[in-house]
Amino acid sequence: MLLPGLDGSADLFARFLAKATGALDFRRVPYPKDRFLDYADLERMVWPQLPRGEPFAILGESFGGPLTLKIAAGKPPGLVGVVLAATFHRRPANALMAKAAPLGPAFFRLPLPPHVVRLLLAGGDAPAELVEEVREAVRHVPARVMAARAREALTVDASEALRRCPVPLLFLGGKKDRLLRSTLPSEIRALQPRAEVRMLDTPHLVLQRKPEESMKIVEEFLLRCSAAHRGAQVPSTEPARATTP
């Protein structure tokens, strides 16, 4: 289950999904484009869409990270793993971005400039096609919805949900991320010592800039989670061994 970032469309998973090997069944869960839903509302929207009677995992990208943690903390049956991709549990923005938060509504009313996409999300060397994909994803979401999601992200605190995560967790981040605080990976490890942390040489859009490497890491992690889950669910068929006094 793939929970998208601030645009909510799930369209930006396309480059990542193009590198899938077929070992896993990926399903995108977009958010409504025409209205804002806070994290509690999004939880209520996602829960009925979770698979029933089969093992599954949740990947939350950027804005979708706290939502992923909150759902996982509810211990849905069949959940075997969680992936956090370029995301956060609380206070996502670095100091400069946090100070610019009041400008959010005005910012989103304008077409997203290519240089801003490169500066904050995709990197200065991002291909023009990716920059346009980001701009297109944002273009179809009302500015008031984007601004409300940004405010929600800045105030959420999913620390307790992170602590209570009942399954293995992978954090996949970018070493050159200019949008998120650099201390987030270490904070996540402090709250959830079992978490695996993998940092790639990318800006914020990790799955889009390094789709093949990201897919390899995610598939290997989730296949391990699935195997561990099967092992825990299947009782041993070995006959009992007699012991001698």
pLDDT in tens, 42-61: 999 999 999 998 999 999 99
The domain 2-233 belongs to what CATH superfamily? Alpha/Beta hydrolase fold, catalytic domain (3.40.50.1820)
pTM of structure:
0.90
Say how far apart CA 153 and CA 150 lie, in whole Å: 5
The domain spans of the chain are 2-233
Say how far apart CA 79 and CA 216 lie, in whole Å: 20
* Average confidence score pLDDT of the chain: 90
Place of tokens 């995560």: 165
Residue 106 banded pLDDT, cuts 50, 70, 90: low
Answer for the pair 85, 16: CB distance below 8 angstroms, yes or no: no
pLDDT in tens, 131-189: 999 999 999 899 999 999 999 999 999 999 999 999 999 999 999 999 999 999 999 99
Place of tokens 């995301």: 87
Answer for the pair 180, 154: CB distance below 8 angstroms, yes or no: no
Say how far apart CA 69 and CA 72 lie, in whole Å: 5
